[in-house]
């Protein structure tokens, strides 16, 4: 029996990323956003760093998670949530509005209120809206909420669909352009076989399609045909070669601003070979390589 695709966020996100949408007879009931701070937008655009910056997504639920983040020597991180973790960390935090429920609970206002602490300049959009077990949003509902994200004044990353080449993102971007909604960079997820050339081509093709900067907010080698009885066919050596080649390739692409490796538990049959950490929180060989890059 094949494993369901990606269930690793549900428990860690908890109440901060609920999926509830409020409906009215004419459609979704969404509070009107406040005025956009155009000066903040301009300042954030001027502050775009040069060169792709290494990051990671981690749900920081305890001290071990904080130590894991510190061990990776990354430039930035995110948690799939809007709230800044109650710690003082060196790498830059990038907030995310995970789904429609987060907007309704005032997550965008929370992001703005914390800017004095986070100094965030970017805001990530909805997480895998085309996936029924993630934010599960229609294009219409995502578009209806987008002006509230724009009102933050932060640079906005597109929603990250599970299928980057599917129809969801194209329809969203087409609607955003039609309604003159701002999307400053495109975010993507990718869980391919260890074929670095094919992966880098997919990043190039995404840039060719939208002509915007690219962030790869989740990527790692995965074998989606794996099962507990027959785990990933890919070796640790293949994963490490893929990591070396793709990180080097992304850094040669002038339009790639950031990338973040995605980890799972070391024993996970689909992605365990891509794990950054052992069960005790120490770095695997893959994690040690990522730290060094």
Instruction: Read off the pTM.
Output: 0.84
Residues 113 and 129 in one domain: yes
In a domain, 108, yes or no: yes
Residues 179 and 266 in one domain: no
Residues 144 and 175 in one domain: yes
Residues 106 and 249 in one domain: no
Structure tokens at 57: 């997504």
Q: Of 149, 184, 219, which closes a domain?
A: 184
Structure tokens at 21: 């949408």
In a domain, 9, yes or no: no
Residues 180 and 197 in one domain: no
Structure tokens at 54: 């290494």
List beta partners, residue 23: 28
In a domain, 101, yes or no: yes
pLDDT in the model for residue 8 = 35
Residues 73 and 101 in one domain: no
Which residue, chain included where needed, has tokens 């299928």?
A: 163
Tens-digit pLDDT string for the chain (293 aa)? 443 444 433 333 333 333 333 333 334 444 455 556 655 655 554 445 556 899 999 988 777 888 899 999 999 999 999 998 866 656 799 999 999 999 999 999 999 999 998 999 999 999 999 999 999 999 999 999 999 999 999 999 999 999 998 999 999 999 999 999 999 999 999 999 999 999 999 999 999 999 999 999 999 999 999 999 999 999 999 999 999 999 999 999 999 999 999 999 999 999 999 999 999 999 999 999 999 99
Decide the pairing of beta strands 53-57 and 256-261: parallel
The total domain count for the chain is: 2
In a domain, 201, yes or no: yes
Residues 111 and 145 in one domain: yes
Residues 136 and 163 in one domain: yes
CA atoms of 262 and 183, how far apart (whole Å): 24
For the chain, counts of helices (H) and of strands (E): 11, 10
Residues 124 and 254 in one domain: no
pLDDT in the model for residue 6 = 40
In a domain, 36, yes or no: no
In a domain, 28, yes or no: no
Q: Of 116, 149, 184, which closes a domain?
A: 184
In a domain, 24, yes or no: no
pLDDT in the model for residue 20 = 33
The DSSP secondary-structure symbol of 99 reads: S
CA atoms of 91 and 80, how far apart (whole Å): 16
Structure tokens at 48: 């775009």
31, 79, 87, 93 from 84: Cα distances, Å: 23, 9, 8, 7
pLDDT in the model for residue 114 = 93
pLDDT in the model for residue 23 = 32
Residues 173 and 140 in one domain: yes
Residues 123 and 180 in one domain: yes
CA atoms of 93 and 85, how far apart (whole Å): 9
* Residue span of the structural domain in which 196 resides: 46-77+191-207+232-293
pLDDT in the model for residue 61 = 73
> Quick one: which H or E segment has residue 290?
helix 285-292
**Terminal CA-CA length for the chain:** 36
Pick from 82, 214, 93: which is nearest to 149 by CA? 82
Q: Of 127, 152, 184, which closes a domain?
A: 184
Residues 203 and 271 in one domain: yes
């Amino acid at each position: 029996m094949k494993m369901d695709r990606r269930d690793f966020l549900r428990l860690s996100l908890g109440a901060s990323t609920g999926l509830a949408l409020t409906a009215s007879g004419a459609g979704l009931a969404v509070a009107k956003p406040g005025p956009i701070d155009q000066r903040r937008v301009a300042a954030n655009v001027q502050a775009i760093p040069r060169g792709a910056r290494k990051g990671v997504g981690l749900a920081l639920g305890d001290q071990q998670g904080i130590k894991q983040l510190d061990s990776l020597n990354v430039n930035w991180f995110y948690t799939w949530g809007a709230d800044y973790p109650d710690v003082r960390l060196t790498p830059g935090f990038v907030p995310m509005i995970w789904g429609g429920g987060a907007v309704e609970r005032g997550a965008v206002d929370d992001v703005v209120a914390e800017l004095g602490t986070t100094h965030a300049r970017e805001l990530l959009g909805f997480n895998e809206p085309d996936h029924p077990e993630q934010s599960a949003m229609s294009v219409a509902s995502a578009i209806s909420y987008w002006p509230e994200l724009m009102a933050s004044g932060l640079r906005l990353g597109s929603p990250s669909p599970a299928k980057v080449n599917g129809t969801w993102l194209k329809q969203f971007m087409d609607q955003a352009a039609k309604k003159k909604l701002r999307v400053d960079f495109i975010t993507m997820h990718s869980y391919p076989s260890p074929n670095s050339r094919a992966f880098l081509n997919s990043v190039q093709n995404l840039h060719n399609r939208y002509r915007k900067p690219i962030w790869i907010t989740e990527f790692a080698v995965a074998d989606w045909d794996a099962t507990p009885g027959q785990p990933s066919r890919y070796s640790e050596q293949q994963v490490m070669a893929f990591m070396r080649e793709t990180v080097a390739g992304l850094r040669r692409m002038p339009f790639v601003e950031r990338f973040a490796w995605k980890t799972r538990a070391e024993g996970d049959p689909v992605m365990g070979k891509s794990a950054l950490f052992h069960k005790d929180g120490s770095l695997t060989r893959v994690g040690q390589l990522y730290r060094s890059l």
